[in-house]
Structure 1
Amino acid sequence: MMSEVPTILVCEDDEAVRCGVVDTLSFAGYEVIEARDGREAMDKALNASYRLMLLDLVMPHHSGFEVLQSLKKHRPGQAVIILSARGEEADRVKGLTMGADDYVVKPFSVRELLARVDAVLRRTVERPAEQGKVRCATGQLDFARMQMILATGEVVSLSERECDLLKYLSANNERAISREELLRHVWGIDPKNLHTRTVDMHIANLREKLGDKDQAVIVTVRGKGYMMILCDES
């Protein structure tokens, strides 16, 4: 059980909606920080200390997309749930592709909001705030340079999608992640009623690039999906 009470940043310019969300979260036991417009949201998103941000898309001064883009550049491990009246698929896909963890369309119920908040906090409880380089059994991943330095000294280039997939897996180190979750958060698409082997194909290609013949880095978890195993940096 965590001793620290999670702090949640609520970025919403509609006062009635913001107050309702803040009251709901406070009553549920969370610490809450408020941002009333895009300018305040941008400042607190980059400088405040919090575990999760609830982000409206349409705000004055800076849109939610602008805040999210800047946040993911400077604090790539930060958890975000988008709150918006925009229910169009294009906006959902864009938000998830840019790095949001979930997307809740207004109007939403108190129970739904709290369930989404709890789910994201549980998923990201051990997510590192920053991922530059990580070590695994076959070498070192350098996300900034988009490459893998194998134990043999060979340098292997990685595509942007491969990097995104490895970042998500490594951010959830030693947790089995379903193909559906990977499609939603790495590819930004709704996996419902979608039959595709794109995740498995990417994993197979990555194992070859990482020299992971024995699945010491990316493990197949039967009935679950895939799990990444990183080396202890200490």
Structure 2
Amino acid sequence: MIPTILVAEDDDAVRQGVVDALSLSGYEVIPAKDGREAMQCALERQYQLLLLDLVMPHHSGFEVLEALKKQRAGQAVIILSARGEEADRVKGLTMGADDYVVKPFSLRELLARVDAVLRRTAERGVCGERYEYADGYVDFDRREVCLHGESGGQELSERECSLMAYLVSNRGRAISREEILRQVWGLDPKGVTTRTIDMHVAHLRGKLGSSGVVQTVRGQGYRVD
């Protein structure tokens, strides 16, 4: 799967330089030229990492970050800012940013930070995490479902585990079949039938018990709370 990165930066030269460097490194890039576009894209588009300038017209980076963390708590964010004061860095990191890069920065350094955050995000999505719900819990390290009152656990396939991990990392949000194909299967959803996703969800539900933890949201996809 090729990661998609949203670049929110109002300086045309800086934005284009970052977009070009990311594109040459093999990433898919979504550019946003001001705070209004940044807010819309951050909340509505699908991406793995947001590079966020703090000072932009219409909405500041802090406003975008605050709105984003309310809707997608686990979304990875790197702040890019000329404001290098300790108070700004602490505020950004406290609000949920994964890293804070002070301008001017070298593109080589930025690419290294991007790679590091994407690796950490992928690792924390599954490894070391346990999701508990009414009937039991999912152990992502052991790749199994353990139901209360039953001895032993039920093994999840690698795809079932990845699917559940993605739903859990986006809990509270309905995930479309197209997004699942793109982010979990690593496929372009255009022209691809989604019955395979429905079958995997059915198998996953059978192992999770009767609590209905994976919900169907009509016309939107699937959700885990």
Q: TM-score range by the shorter chain?
A: 0.5 to 0.7
> Which residue of 2 is the match for residue 36 of structure 1?
33
- Choose which of 32, 35, 59 in structure 2 pairs with 1:62: 59
Give the number of equivalent residue pairs.
140
| Aligned pairs for 1:65-104 within 5 A | 65-104=62-101
> Which residue of 2 is the match for residue 123 of structure 1?
120
Q: CA RMSD in A?
A: 2.8
**Residue 127 of structure 1: how far off its partner (Å):** 4.4
Partner AA of 1:90 in structure 2: A
> Which residue of 2 is the match for residue 224 of structure 1?
none
> Which residue of 2 is the match for residue 7 of structure 1?
4
TM-score, normalised relative to structure 1 = 0.55
**Residue 233 of structure 1: how far off its partner (Å):** 6.1
Instruction: Report the Cα distance in structure 1 between the residues aligned to 2:50 and 2:31, rounded to whole angstroms.
Output: 10
| Aligned pairs for 1:1-234 within 5 A | 4-128=1-125, 134-135=131-132
Q: Which has the higher helix share?
A: 2
Instruction: Report the Cα distance in structure 2 between the residues aligned to 1:113 and 1:71, rounded to whole angstroms.
Output: 22
Partner AA of 1:24 in structure 2: A
Instruction: Report the Cα distance in structure 2 between the residues aligned to 1:12 and 1:127, rounded to whole angstroms.
Output: 27
Q: 1:125 to 1:106 in 2, by over 3 A?
A: same
Instruction: Report the Cα distance in structure 2 between the residues aligned to 1:35 and 1:233, rounded to whole angstroms.
Output: 40
Instruction: Report the Cα distance in structure 1 between the residues aligned to 2:208 and 2:45, rounded to whole angstroms.
Output: 27
Gaps of 5+ in 1: 141-150, 152-169, 172-231
Partner AA of 2:119 in structure 1: R
Q: 1:32 to 1:134 in 2, by over 3 A?
A: same
Instruction: Report the Cα distance in structure 1 between the residues aligned to 2:73 and 2:56, rounded to whole angstroms.
Output: 22
Instruction: Give secondary structure in 2 for the equivalent of 1:25.
Output: helix
Identity, in percent, stands at 74
Partner AA of 2:47 in structure 1: Y
**Residue 134 of structure 1: how far off its partner (Å):** 3.1
Instruction: Report the Cα distance in structure 1 between the residues aligned to 2:51 and 2:87, rounded to whole angstroms.
Output: 19
Instruction: Report the Cα distance in structure 2 between the residues aligned to 1:126 and 1:70, rounded to whole angstroms.
Output: 25
Partner AA of 1:28 in structure 2: S
Q: 1:64 to 1:16 in 2, by over 3 A?
A: same
Instruction: Report the Cα distance in structure 2 between the residues aligned to 1:49 and 1:22, rounded to whole angstroms.
Output: 17
| Contact 1:135 1:233 (C-alpha < 8 Å) held by counterparts | no
Instruction: Give secondary structure in 2 for the equivalent of 1:125.
Output: helix
Partner AA of 1:106 in structure 2: K
